[in-house]
A and B are shown apart, each in its own frame.
Chain A
Amino acid sequence: MQEVVQQLVNGISLGSIYGLIALGYTMVYGIIRLINFAHGDIYMIGAFVGYFAIRTFHLSFLPALLAAMAVSAVLGMVIERLAYRPLRNSTRIAALITAIGVSFLIQNTALLAWTPDPRSYPDVFPLRTYEIGGVYVDNRQIAILGVALVLMVVLHYIVNYTQIGRAMRAVSQDADTARLMGIDVDRVISFTFALGSALAAAAGVLVGIYYNRIDPTMGTMPGLKAFVAAVLGGIGVIPGAMLGGLVMGIAEVAVVALTESTWKDAVAFAILIVILLVRPAGLLGRQVREKV
């Protein structure tokens, strides 16, 4: 029983990281129907920015986190402006190919600049482990949970209670009508990219602190898994991304606990294929039928 709770705690920690990344996928997909393949690499950039902020500029945890989020937000907006906006009226496949290209570009540039060797993340807070009824929770897990929770609440507030949030929802319903209603669609899309990228960057910093190890290819797998989480929860549905992330995190931890850890990367994709076949709209999504 203790073991189960312990794994649950680990799973939730991992899951909230997937959830944070998945939010970016789901918002961007919801608004321009693009799988932003480069999202995982923005997460990686976030981790590296945090790393340099702490190591080179000697910032403490929170300022470093905010710096990483700010830099990634700008990066996300730049990518959207340069690579995706010109393609907004072309086919979705063309946009997807571009996104794959952007992902490769970021990753390989990072490989060149920072070498493929993993770096160990600077210690911002010394590890402390607490025992509660035989279950171990450390302060890093608490930080992950805390930051994830705060960010999700902030996001919820922005999307539901601010003017820009209302504009985002309008654009995701129907961009053309939103434009007719006087909404600056380009600005809303830019803002969405900024928001999603900032959340991914936060996840990057948290992962760096939690696993104490970052490298330029670290974004690929979590990126793909977070995408699966977004699909699992129902792509375009914001609470779905959080739910999907948690389910994915717990499933992965369970597989590692029960079998060999090398199988863990297969879990995500098995879940993906099953969910796409059984309930393609995801857990919280609504099923739509194509008009003939």
Chain B
Amino acid sequence: MSLLEIRDLTMQFGGLTAVDRFNLTLNEGDIVGLIGPNGAGKTTVFNCLTGMYAPTGGEILLSGHRIDGLHPYEITRLGMARTFQNIRLFKQLTVYDNIRIAFHNQSKYNLATAVFRLPQFAKEEREILEKTEELLEIFGLYEHRNEIASSLPYGEQRQLEIARALATNPQILLLDEPAAGMNPQETEELTSLIRWVKERFDLTIFLIEHDMRLVMRLCERLVVLDYGITIAEGTPEEIQNNPQVIEAYLGEEAL
């Protein structure tokens, strides 16, 4: 059984069809890229997958269960985490708290346990603390743990957002333009970070990216979206040589 199966996913806003019958199957361990010109509907696909939008048509199955129409928090709990195109950290909180919040679902104690400070509370809080510190070390953010998230340099904010997504313990990680605004060297580092994280956390990754170098080096498979329609799918090499894709990116006159 495939991990994520998207069948004929369609999203309409009023008369506008942002995504039209989008199909994709992700197997465990896949790393797939979603590319396309601006306004092609890429982020809309992500928003449908993560429950930010309720799709107007089609089905999304995660490990065989329908997830379309569920709330975002439910989908996160089922093992799909994401980052955002315009970084959405808890800006006024510390790096530390940003991560700790994401462990929310892994603490099972109820309000009464918290109010009376029962042993289970201390046990789970200690676990969260340890896992948080572990993640901070992995991402090299440990020394910044007490800083306010918005005070971090841009590149580290991106990393923190990935770390935070990982804290929700996902099977699938959706990255929305992780390299946006990075210089070539940072992008290089990010590429190896994503690859490393994928192995370390046993992840399936689906990412949107404009930086072709990152996409070509990282992804095994690419999907190309233009005006909400899938115009090509295949290995990076196949996509690179696909005339339809070149046309979508460069316009007809370039041919």
Contact = CB atoms under 8 A, between A and B. Distances in A.
A202 B190 CA distance: 64
B56 to A, nearest CB: 13
A292 B49 CA distance: 13
Contacts of A292: 43, 47, 52-53, 84
A292 B13 CA distance: 14
A292 B43 CA distance: 9
A287 to B, nearest CB: 10
A289 to B, nearest CB: 8
Q: Which range holds the interface residue count of chain A?
A: under 10
Nearest to A290: B52
A289 B47 CA distance: 14
Contacts of A289: 13
A49 B13 CA distance: 52
Interface string B46-61: 0100001100000000
Contacts of B43: 292
A289 B54 CA distance: 13
Nearest to B47: A292
A16 to B, nearest CB: 36
Contacts of B47: 292
Nearest to A289: B13
Contacts of B13: 289
Interface in B8-55: 13, 43, 47, 52-53
A289 B11 CA distance: 14
Interface string B120-148: 00000000000000000000000000000
B73 to A, nearest CB: 14
A41 to B, nearest CB: 34
B161 to A, nearest CB: 15
Interface of A: 289, 292
6 contacts: A289-B13, A292-B43, A292-B47, A292-B52, A292-B53, A292-B84
